[in-house]
Chains A and B, each alone.
Chain A
Amino acid sequence: MYLNGVEIEETFAEAFKMWGSRVIITACNARWAMIAATTMTGFATSVIGCKCEAGIEGVATDTPDGRPGVSVLLFTPGKEDLPKRLMERIGQCVLTCPTTACFNGLDSPLTMPIGGQLRFFGDSFQASKLVGGRRFWRIPVMEGEFLIEEKFGMQRAVGGGNFLILGEDAEVTLRAAECAAAAMRQAPGVILPFPGGIVRSGSKTSSRYKALIASTNDAYCPTLRGITDTALPEGVNSVLEIVIDGLDLAAVEEATRVGVRAACIPGIRRISAGNYGGTLGQFQIHLCRVLEGQA
């Protein structure tokens, strides 16, 4: 199919089961809430090297303590990894950040005792409060007091949704990817974990080097056209990828739909997606079906 003159390849993104959580960070103002959220989601682009994938879902309104807030999503491949990563990141990046408080943003029967563990930082001076059936911990810190909810929800999630933007040159491809990322940030329940939401170094799950589990996706590298089995049509000189993690498949599909539509600007030749022939991922997000509203 074609959208705004851009070919949408009849292919699918292969996505994987993950575990997800939502953290609401508040602070005295929007700037400090964003600083904490940005710090917490730093170095969290890919589970390959960062143990988790995290990003800012958006500005949180109507926060539990009424202060400006930011919503953060964090994903791990394994259920047991999620509390570890949350403990590390909230403990090192939010607890330490001036004026912040931290709340669960996911209503789920499966919970992790994050505040219930971080409270021990209070060295027995911490105090618990039960408000509206939810337990919170007030941990004394040098600046004043850190407030954190005892339990954070977790649920099955979807990671690795993606699409590829194949453009005539690097400038137009980046512009299209920026348009896509900007549009997708409005979609709830998803994050784009890579820098600015965009990946330039998509990978394949193999390498000629034994020590590596992933290596450059040579089929989409324009500089390798002619010496590798290229997937690039004529006239394509740059490719960027958008990777999507979401709390459920519907959220990832909606973000894909929004993103692909926004990316179809003049100078873009094709939209494709990364997959492994359907052999690895549990979810298949077919681009054409998503765009036609059939997914």
Chain B
Amino acid sequence: MTTLQLKDLPEVPLEAESISPDRFIGKTADEIAALPVNVGNRKACLGEFFAVSGDGGPEIVLEGDLARVKLIGAGMTQGQIHVRGNAGMHLGAGMRGGRIMVDGAVGDWAGAEMQGGHIHIRGNAGHCLGAGYRGSPKGMNRGVIIVDGDAGNEAGTAMRRGLIVIGGNSGDFTGAFMIAGTVVVFGELGERTGAALKRGTVVAFKPPRLLPSYRYACTYAPPFMGLLLRHLAGLGVAVPEAYLHGRYRRYSGDMTALGKGEILVWEAA
């Protein structure tokens, strides 16, 4: 296990894509400290900002308020990162495997365009959680993101596959432009949920304000929801007992797009 203790909060955001098990494995603490980072318009090394200790194994522990440290675990394919505090933008962006656990909050674009792996954020997440970058045809494509708190706007935008679970509230445009995949929101949803969604599922446990381009289909109890909620419980998501029962109002949409997606709105039994 490698531990990185933040020494000083950088004045400008630190781009630390090198904080990844793929880059740490097999290196000594000194070699890890020498890995490059970008701070503002200059290049620096990790050791300038972090006290590094440990053996360069597949597990990394980050300590301190890393809200200004971007790209932690971006592109990682294996191992585990535990952030004991907050994390900055682009956490786990493009990751393909491994696990990231954040005890605090994270900035925007967490898990953006990720292609595998597991991110669990115990605090809040910023905007564009699991989304596709501007101009990209698709966002998250496999993998799981769990946010215990709230998420900002555009969570799951253009996601192609995968699962996003938001324990609290979600902002506007949740699941907008989704191609497929599943977004589960236990709290309130903002405006324009599922706008231009082609396929995929948004599950709402609080009634959302729906776009007029969604059509009510039926009220039923899909066996899939039992499967999904049990899976979430296995992932450590606290699923309230009441949600294991009841039915769902299915709205098909978005009719401005392909119209093969759905918003499932839970109703108490």
Binary per-residue interface labels of chain A (238-250) against chain B in the complex, 1 for a CB within 8 Å, 0 otherwise? 0000000000000
Shortest distance from the beta carbon of B248 to any chain A beta carbon, whole Å: 10
- B221, B223, B227: most-surrounded residue (chain A CB, <10 A): B223
User: A66 to B221, Cβ gap below 8 A?
Assistant: no
**Would A129 and B223 count as touching, CB distance under 8 A?**
no
Chain A at the B interface: SS class:
strand
Cβ contacts under 8 Å, A26 to chain B: 223
**Does A2 sit at the interface, judged by CB under 8 A?**
no
Chain B residue with Cβ nearest A147: B223
Whether, in the assembled complex, A121 has its beta carbon less than 8 Å from a beta carbon of chain B, the answer is no
Q: Assess the A131–B222 pair: CB atoms within 8 A.
A: no
User: Which residues of B sit under 8 angstroms from A64, Cβ to Cβ?
Assistant: 227, 230
B195 CB, min distance to chain A CBs, angstroms: 19
Distance between Cα atoms of A64 and B229 in the complex (Å):
10
Tell me, yes or no, whether A136 is within 8 Å of chain B by CB.
yes
Chain A residues closer than 8 Å to B142, beta-carbon distance: 130
With contacts A127-B199, A129-B182 taken as known, whether A136 is within 8 angstroms of B227 at the C-beta atoms is yes
Question: Quick one: which of A28, A99, A125, A138 contacts B224, CB cutoff 8 A?
Answer: A138
How far, in whole Å, are A67 and B224 apart by their CA atoms in the complex?
11
The answer to whether A226 has its CB under 8 Å from any CB of chain B is: no
> Is A144 an interface residue when CB atoms closer than 8 A count as contact?
yes
Is B227 a contact partner of A147 (Cβ separation < 8 A)? yes
Interface residues on A, range: 20 to 34
Return chain A residues, CB-CB under 8 Å to B207.
Answer: none
* Chain B residues near A128 (CB-CB < 8 A): 180
Considering only residues 113-165 of chain A, those with a C-beta below 8 Å from chain B are 125, 127-132, 136, 138, 144-145, 147
A10 within 8 Å of B (CB atoms): no
Which residues on the A side are within 8 Å of B227 (C-beta)?
64-66, 101, 131, 136, 147
Give the CA-CA distance A167 to B146 in the complex, in Å: 64
Per-residue 0/1 for B211-235: is the Cβ within 8 Å of any A Cβ (1 yes, 0 no)?
Answer: 0000000101111101111110010
What chain A residues lie within 8 Å of B224 (beta carbons)? 65, 129, 136, 138, 145, 147
A125's partner among B182, B220, B244, B260 (CB-CB below 8 A) is B260
The residue on B at minimum CB distance from A137 is: B224
**A127 in contact with B260 (CB, 8 Å):** yes
Q: A66 contacts B230, CB within 8 Å?
A: yes
B221 touches A144 (CB 8 A): yes
A26–B227 Cα gap in the complex (Å)?
Answer: 11
List, in ascending order, chain A residues with CB within 8 A of B163's CB.
130-131
Which residues of B come within 8 Å of A, CB atoms?
142, 161-163, 180, 182, 199, 201, 218, 220-224, 226-231, 234, 244, 260, 262
Task: Tell me the A residues contacting B by CB distance below 8 Å.
Answer: 26, 28, 64-67, 99, 101, 125, 127-132, 136, 138, 144-145, 147
* New contact pairs (4) apart from A99-B223, A144-B222, CB-CB < 8 Å: A64-B230, A65-B227, A131-B231, A147-B224
Closest 9 CB pairs of A and B: A65-B226, A101-B223, A147-B223, A65-B227, A144-B220, A66-B226, A65-B223, A145-B222, A131-B231
21 CB < 8 A contacts A-B: A65-B224, A65-B226, A65-B230, A66-B227, A66-B230, A66-B244, A67-B223, A67-B226, A101-B227, A125-B260, A127-B199, A127-B201, A127-B262, A136-B227, A138-B222, A145-B223, A145-B224, A147-B222, A147-B223, A147-B224, A147-B227
